[in-house]
Amino acid sequence: MTNLDHLVIGASTVKEGVSYIKSVLNVDIPPGGKHSQMGTENHVMKLGNNTFLEVIAIDYGAVPPPFPRWFGLDDPFVREELKRSPRLLTWVINTDNLSAIRQKSKLELGNPVKLSRGDLEWSFSTPEDGHLLAGGMVPYVIQWHNRQSHPSERMEDKHCRLVNLEIHHPSPVWLKSILSSMEALSHVTIKPLPTESTPFLLGRILTPQGIVTLQSNHLIKY
């Protein structure tokens, strides 16, 4: 069993990411912290139903890790795209059995990395080269450890709620097969695109001002 865990907004710097969220959602997304093992930092806020929104960027004040950072943040293509604007990068699902999901998945998800920050402990499956899975259309998988409740429960509530998540893709049958093997298909709506079209991710957020759409803006590299 899996659940939708969070949406990931990538940015060149967290300052730019925070400004982006302010401009599109009209809220100040609070600081989360630093990931010393990954050389990144984030801001987070709850989106309801045990989900949250994350803004993540390279922590330029930290010692770079001896391997590529997660979420494709060391990919030259991704870096160039994020210089233009922060954007929706990908999504993450959670499970109580990361090993089982990795074995079932028809797409190689990478080896689990054990991470921690404060009293939070989790395992995160990421490829060795840190690339986005299927250009961000396939989710990463996280397993939270030693938790009585989801971490989003203690995040600040800015009164924004995730309405739905869509993936627009020219190979919907292939994508459905991958997501089904990961037990992730029920979390998204897949919409077909014409052949040769560029896939993209779209999330709708209900804010106090109305529904706002976050989109990957065709940030894809195959």
In the chain, where are the structural domains located?
A: 1-222
On whether the 1-222 domain is CATH 3.30.70.141, my answer is no
How many Å apart are CA 203 and CA 26, to the nearest integer?
A: 16
Is residue 2 within 8 A of residue 207, CB to CB? The reply is no
Distance CA 118, CA 65 (A): 19
The pLDDT tens digits along the chain (222 residues) read: 999 999 999 999 999 999 999 999 999 999 999 999 999 999 999 999 999 999 999 999 999 999 999 999 999 999 999 999 999 999 999 999 999 999 999 999 999 999 998 888 999 999 999 999 999 999 999 999 987 899 999 999 999 999 999 999 999 999 999 999 999 999 999 999 999 999 999 999 999 999 999 999 754 433
Report which of 203, 171, 164, 205 is spatially closest to residue 187, judged by C-alpha positions. 164
Q: Which residues share a beta bridge with 86?
A: none
- How many CB atoms lie under 10 A from the CB of residue 50? 16
pTM of the model: 0.95
In single-letter form, the type of residue at position 130 comes to G
Q: With 0-12 CB in 10 A as exposed, 13-18 as middle and 19+ as buried, what is 200? A: buried
